[in-house]
A and B are shown apart, each in its own frame.
Chain A
Amino acid sequence: MNKITLPTDPYLNRIEEQDPELYLELLSTLIKYKIVNKSLACHGRTPSEALSTILKDLDPPIYEILQHPNCPREVLEANLRSPDSFNRMSTASNPNLDQSQIESLAKDEDASVKIHLSRRPDLSEGVIRELFEWAKKESREETEQWSSIAEETGEEVTQKTSWFYGIAKNPDTPRDIIEALLKFDLKAEDYDGSTLGQALMSNPALREEDKVLLSINGVPPKKLESQEVNMLEHEGLPSSKAFEIPDFPIHLIQALAKAGHPFALFHPDLPLGKFPTSFNDYLDYFIKSEIIYRTLWPELIERGDIKFFYLRSSHDGDALYFHVPGLKFEHNFMRGEMTYNSMSYPFIERDWVEVIEEQDADDVVALFEHRTIDEFIDYEAEEILLALSISHTVSSNEAELTKKGREFLKSEGSWLFDDDVEYHARILPEKALPYSWTRLSEEKRIAITKLVIEGFNEKIDTKYQFAEHFLVCIALLPSTSDAIRSLLEKVDSSPVREALKITNL
């Protein structure tokens, strides 16, 4: 029978293979930092003792630990009957459950527990049959429920089949169940666009004739790639977190650099050594950890003409960005239309940026400028209507605010706008250390510039826009040398040219 496997941190693995003692020292140091705990719980080779230590934390990543192959046995056992269904659901995904534990979870009354269990590759025939019967019942009930809603809204009625996906993908699913599944609606889309046909097509034991039948039914013949979210990737590698911690022991950072960690390129206290050969392969790591932003943004304040802003928006997503007079452009990033200078994950709290949440009365006036009384009438708060009227009158120069009026606008006007509000942000270079463009050797600065230029020239989907942004930052930085400037002059990008031009003035 197949086993569930968890992804692992390749740099930790390398150190573990080469120097087990150093590996244990690295692990025991990482555990001391709370920001690494979740990543460690997602690293498939974290030992049981380390997970026990993490569990002693005030708010441990319990779901990740319960899914871990090295989860302490007593913890796993206790959570099979946890009153929290999320704990039982996570336990259902643990690779080390024995058959009696699997059988007990198959009888769990919570649907999410059964769905997680049905995705296991090590189910016995009896459990597969039990889960199939349950899924048939759920599918029928959900389809009926959906039909009555669809009747009212005039939508097309489709069969709900997502309950079967786990069983459909399992190579041990008995033939009669596969045949039964092939009779269901194979093309009915789930909320995420997936279909039962696709789930069956990804079953490695599916017969050729079944594949032909699925193809006739319009299911693509290509085996579907796993849609499962890689939690380790999502959380960030534990080894990458080490680079984010300002006081992390340098000999351990050096060991990670020796293991080939790409962040070593940005660390000013490490020699150039080997560095990543492709910017685009490591871009996600660079931007998610913010190492590259910590290197390139803080010293931009030395220009004196740069302003940083933070926009909090539930609709468009938060954005942290800067503005330099003479530079204005927009690019399409993966989170939608965003200003060029935005960071991609601005909602993460960071030490090196301070958002100045207090709004000036003038900002509140500006917020009200394009709004009408009608828009606010439903709030039924006279103070807001008063603030709105005063704002309009002040912005059209028909009145001046008194000191009391300024206070009133600040207190009554701004509570409505904690969303879609642009705040000033302050960058704290000392908190971004050790990362700093000035502290890097010229050799490293040239290596980084060349790497980013290469990434830009590859023009891969939206990735080149990040590269272009970083090149603009390098061009804007006062400490960038003439040698690097001449490299940038050869880049075919008007924003980079503009940035060079306004910096040379």
Chain B
Amino acid sequence: MSADSKTFNPPTAEFQAISARVDGYLTLITASEEFIDLSSDNEELLQLAFVARGIFRELIVPSKELVDAITGAEGELKNLAEEFGESESKEDSDEDFEEKDEED
């Protein structure tokens, strides 16, 4: 598809909200220790998340197709963030437990 067929419009308030949420998911994902290991399996999804961050920070103006792609991927990113977040908090609680054990 050529550049001429794309339309670049400033993101709507609704899409700004989606980008903001995706930005939050990305923060959770990148904070995880598993981020480096799992990133190659989710490369395209993560790239979309970074692009959403770019939109949220007003670095780029997206095409309509890109808006659709990010909107469509929001749910999947939320799941990924929960998965990463869960494993993170599970590890935290495991560590707490171990530490407690040692104290005992």
Interface residues of A in 141-173 (CB under 8 A from B): none
B80 at the interface (CB under 8 A from A): no
**Whole-angstrom distance from the CB of B35 to the nearest CB of chain A?**
8
Interface 1/0 per residue, B35-73 and A, CB below 8 Å: 110011001001110110111011111110110000000
Q: Choose among B6, B40, B43, B59 the residue that contacts A398 (Cβ–Cβ < 8 A).
A: B6
A133 at the interface (CB under 8 A from B): no
- What number of residue pairs across chains A and B have CB atoms under 8 A from each other? 83
CB <8 Å contact, B47 and A400: no
B1 at the interface (CB under 8 A from A): yes
Interface 1/0 per residue, A374-403 and B, CB below 8 Å: 100110101001101110111001111110
B97 at the interface (CB under 8 A from A): no
The residues of A that contact B36 with a CB separation of less than 8 Å are 377-378, 380
CB <8 Å contact, A398 and B39: no
In the docked arrangement, what's the CA distance between A390 and B54, Å?
7
The residues of A that contact B2 with a CB separation of less than 8 Å are 397
CB <8 Å contact, A377 and B60: no
**Whole-angstrom distance from the CB of A478 to the nearest CB of chain B?**
37
In the docked arrangement, what's the CA distance between A378 and B2, Å?
34
In the docked arrangement, what's the CA distance between A408 and B48, Å?
18
In the docked arrangement, what's the CA distance between A404 and B54, Å?
10
CB <8 Å contact, B59 and A392: no
CB <8 Å contact, A393 and B66: yes
In the docked arrangement, what's the CA distance between A101 and B3, Å?
78
CB <8 Å contact, B51 and A393: yes
CB <8 Å contact, B50 and A399: no
The residues of A that contact B6 with a CB separation of less than 8 Å are 397-398
A366 at the interface (CB under 8 A from B): no
The residues of B that contact A398 with a CB separation of less than 8 Å are 6, 51, 62-63, 65-66
In the complex, which residue of chain A has the Cβ closest to the Cβ of B47?
Answer: A389
Given A390-B59, A408-B59, A399-B47 contact (CB < 8 Å): no
The residues of A that contact B55 with a CB separation of less than 8 Å are 399
A306 at the interface (CB under 8 A from B): no
In the docked arrangement, what's the CA distance between A385 and B3, Å?
24
CB <8 Å contact, B62 and A390: no
CB <8 Å contact, A397 and B59: no
In the docked arrangement, what's the CA distance between A181 and B6, Å?
79
The residues of A that contact B39 with a CB separation of less than 8 Å are 373-374, 377
Given A377-B39, A378-B36, A393-B66, A402-B58 contact (CB < 8 Å): yes
In the docked arrangement, what's the CA distance between A401 and B63, Å?
11
CB <8 Å contact, A405 and B50: no
CB <8 Å contact, A374 and B66: no
**Among A393, A404, A405, A408: residue with most chain B CB under 10 A:** A393
Interface residues of A in 397-420 (CB under 8 A from B): 397-402, 404-405, 408-409
The residues of A that contact B40 with a CB separation of less than 8 Å are 373-374, 377
Q: Choose among B1, B3, B47, B63 the residue that contacts A392 (Cβ–Cβ < 8 A).
A: B47
Given A393-B60, A398-B62, A400-B8, A386-B43 contact (CB < 8 Å): no
Given A377-B36, A393-B66, A400-B50 contact (CB < 8 Å): no
Q: Give how many B residues have a beta carbon under 8 Å from the other chain's beta carbons.
A: 28
**Whole-angstrom distance from the CB of A126 to the nearest CB of chain B?**
64
Q: Choose among A374, A378, A385, A405 the residue that contacts B60 (Cβ–Cβ < 8 A).
A: A405
In the docked arrangement, what's the CA distance between A394 and B39, Å?
21
In the docked arrangement, what's the CA distance between A397 and B66, Å?
10
In the docked arrangement, what's the CA distance between A400 and B67, Å?
13
**Whole-angstrom distance from the CB of A361 to the nearest CB of chain B?**
10
In the docked arrangement, what's the CA distance between A165 and B3, Å?
68
In the complex, which residue of chain B has the Cβ closest to the Cβ of A386?
Answer: B50
Q: Choose among B50, B51, B63 the residue that contacts A397 (Cβ–Cβ < 8 A).
A: B63
B16 at the interface (CB under 8 A from A): no
Q: Choose among A372, A382, A399 the residue that contacts B51 (Cβ–Cβ < 8 A).
A: A399
Q: 28 A-B residue contacts at CB 8 Å?
A: A373-B40, A377-B39, A378-B36, A385-B46, A386-B53, A386-B54, A388-B50, A389-B47, A389-B50, A390-B51, A390-B60, A393-B47, A393-B51, A393-B54, A393-B62, A393-B66, A397-B63, A398-B65, A398-B66, A400-B61, A401-B60, A401-B61, A402-B58, A405-B54, A405-B59, A405-B60, A408-B57, A409-B59
Given A382-B30, A386-B53, A399-B43 contact (CB < 8 Å): no
The residues of A that contact B57 with a CB separation of less than 8 Å are 404, 408
In the complex, which residue of chain A has the Cβ closest to the Cβ of B36?
Answer: A377
In the docked arrangement, what's the CA distance between A397 and B36, Å?
28
In the docked arrangement, what's the CA distance between A353 and B66, Å?
43
The residues of B that contact A386 with a CB separation of less than 8 Å are 50, 53-54, 59
The residues of B that contact A392 with a CB separation of less than 8 Å are 47
The residues of A that contact B48 with a CB separation of less than 8 Å are 389
**Whole-angstrom distance from the CB of B65 to the nearest CB of chain A?**
6
CB <8 Å contact, B60 and A399: yes
**Whole-angstrom distance from the CB of B46 to the nearest CB of chain A?**
6
In the docked arrangement, what's the CA distance between A429 and B17, Å?
56
The residues of B that contact A388 with a CB separation of less than 8 Å are 47, 50
**Whole-angstrom distance from the CB of A337 to the nearest CB of chain B?**
32
Interface 1/0 per residue, B5-27 and A, CB below 8 Å: 01010000000000000000000
The residues of B that contact A380 with a CB separation of less than 8 Å are 36
In the complex, which residue of chain A has the Cβ closest to the Cβ of B44?
Answer: A373
In the docked arrangement, what's the CA distance between A392 and B62, Å?
13
In the complex, which residue of chain A has the Cβ closest to the Cβ of B66?
Answer: A398
CB <8 Å contact, A390 and B50: yes
**Whole-angstrom distance from the CB of B69 to the nearest CB of chain A?**
8
CB <8 Å contact, A401 and B59: yes
In the docked arrangement, what's the CA distance between A380 and B60, Å?
22
Interface 1/0 per residue, B58-96 and A, CB below 8 Å: 111111011000000000000000000000000000000
